[in-house]
Amino acid sequence: MARKTVLIDTSLCTGCKACSVACKAWNELPAEKTQLLTSYQTQNAFTTKTWTYMTFVEKYEDQKMNWLMRKAQCFHCADPSCMKACSSNAITKTESGYVVIDQEKCIGCGYCVENCPFGVPKVDQVKKKSYKCTGCIDRVENNLLPACVNTCQPGALSFGERDVVLTQAKKRLAEVQKTHPKAQLYGEKEMGGTTYLYLLLDSPEVYDLPVNPTVPLSLTLWKDVIRPVGTVAVGGAAAAVVLGVFANLFRGNYSNSDHKEGGKD
């Protein structure tokens, strides 16, 4: 399956949060206790049970209100640091561009949590598993739209082949920039180009997004230089331990107690 992309056109988003509900309904995730945080926002971080949520920013300038709404979820990076950090080969990337966690392999080490520039994956400390948006890979691979895209009434979310979506996004951007000069795409190049691509009405900082998200150098070293060797040489289980040790040395808090079940494959 060719590279796919979801465009999140925030100029069309009405902040209705249907995407949040559709995500929970499809993935059978329970509701969490919340309260109003700011504006109409009730959640401000991912959890093991919340894989997408809506952010609201109110910006009042020159007697003009801009109410900026953004659906937050995993970006499904082309160059995913979570995958690079993963100690157990549990995180993989599909041809279609989805970054998915194999729950059977995941050992809950938390490196993906530590290394994601967007704070996406979260580890369930009881189950010792890491959770995040799957991109509805099960739906996509069966020719269904992701649940969030499928439900979006104002048409802010669209899904398709990457080049088609990019062309559409750029055309739309030119239109939107007439009224919002700071509008820009986010995710075209960031992290190697993300599967979830935004059309933002303002600069990323306004949305509390990192301006230049990057993969930590340590991870690049590991993933691309040392680990392939390790995998071939010593097999999955050992590689996981090796990677874990190395990554933790970099962080200076090495502890291998979580890694016992690491390499059952």
Partner 1 sequence: MDVSRRGFFKLSGLSIAALAAGLGFDPAVAEAKGYALKLEGTKKIPSICHFCSGGCGMLLYVKEGKLIHLEGDPDHPTNEGTLCPKAASLLSVANSPDRVTKPRRRAPGADKWEDISWEEALDIVAKKTKEVRDASWKVADQIVNAKTGLTESLTVNRVEGIAFLGSAEVDNEESYLIKKFCQLIGTPYNEHQARI
Partner 2 sequence: MSPSFGRGAMTNSWSDLKNAEVFLIAGSNCAENHPIAMKWINRAKENGAKIIVVDPRFTRTASKADIFAQIRPGTDIAYLGAIINYIIEQKLYDQKYVLNYTNALLKVSTDYKLEDGLFSGYDAKTRKYGTASWGYQLGPDKKPLKAESIEDPDSVFSKLKAHYSRYTFDTAEKISGIPAAKIKEIADVFCKGKPASILYALGMTQHTTGVQGIRAYAIIQLLLGNIGKAGGGINALRGEPNVQGSTDMANLVSNLPGYLPHPINTDKTLRDYLVRNGSFFEKHIVAQLKAWFGENATKDNDYGFSLLPKTNPAVNATMVKLFEMMNKEQFKLLFNVGSNSLVSIPDRQLVRSALTKLDMLVVSDLFEIETAQFWREPGVNPADIKTEVIMFPAAFVYEKAGSMSNSSRWIQWKDAALEPLGESLPDLDMLDHLFKKIRKLYAGSTDVKDAPILKARWDYGEHTSALKVLQELSGYDETTGKLLPTIGDYLKAPIGTASTGCWIYAGVTGNGNLAARRNNADPSGLGLFKDWSFAWPGNVRILYNRASCDEAGQPVDAKRKLIWWDEAAKVWAGNDGGDLVDKTKGPDTPEGKLSFRMNPEGVGRLFAATYMSGLPAEAPADGLPAIGIRPAGICVDGPLPEFYEPTESPTTNILHPEVSISPCALVVSTQIGKSDKFPHVLTTYGVVEHFCAGGITRNIPWLNEIMPEPFAEISKNLAAKIKVVEGDMVEVSSARGKITVRALVTDRLQSYKVNGKDTETIGMPWSWGFASLSPGPSTNEITIAALDPGAGTPEYKVCLVDIRRAN
**Site membership for partner 2, residue 83 (CB under 8 A):** no
Please give the Cα distance from 158 to 150 (Å, whole number). Answer: 8
Q: Check if the beta carbon of residue 5 is closer than 8 Å to that of residue 168.
A: no
Which residue among 50, 151, 194, 248 contacts partner 1 (CB under 8 A)? Answer: 151
Q: Which of residues 161-220 bind partner 1 (CB under 8 A)?
A: none
CA 135, 137, 139, 144 torsion: positive or negative?
positive
Q: Are 114 and 250 in contact (CB under 8 A)?
A: no
Between 106 and 169, CB nearer to partner 2 = 169
Helix (H) or strand (E) holding 4: strand 4-9
> Annotation-wise, does 258 bind a ligand?
no
Q: How far apart are CB 39 and partner 2 at their closest, in Å? A: 7
Q: Is residue 8 part of an annotated ligand binding site? A: no
Annotated ligand binding at 86? The verdict is yes
Minimum Å gap between C-beta 98 and partner 2 is: 24
Question: What would the two tokens of residue 136 be?
Answer: 């509805």
> Tokens in use for 232?
């071939």
Task: Tell the residue number behind the tokens 């401000």, with chain if given.
Answer: 44
141 is in an annotated binding site: no
Phi, psi of 120 (to 5 degrees): -85, -60
Footprint of partner 2 on residues 39-78 (CB under 8 A)?
Answer: 39-40, 42-43, 54, 58, 60, 65-67, 69
* Residue 74 labelled as part of a binding site: yes
Positions touching partner 1 (CB under 8 A) are: 1, 16-18, 20-22, 25-30, 49, 83, 89, 91-96, 100-104, 127, 129, 131, 134, 137-139, 141-142, 144-145, 147, 150-153, 228, 231-232, 236, 265
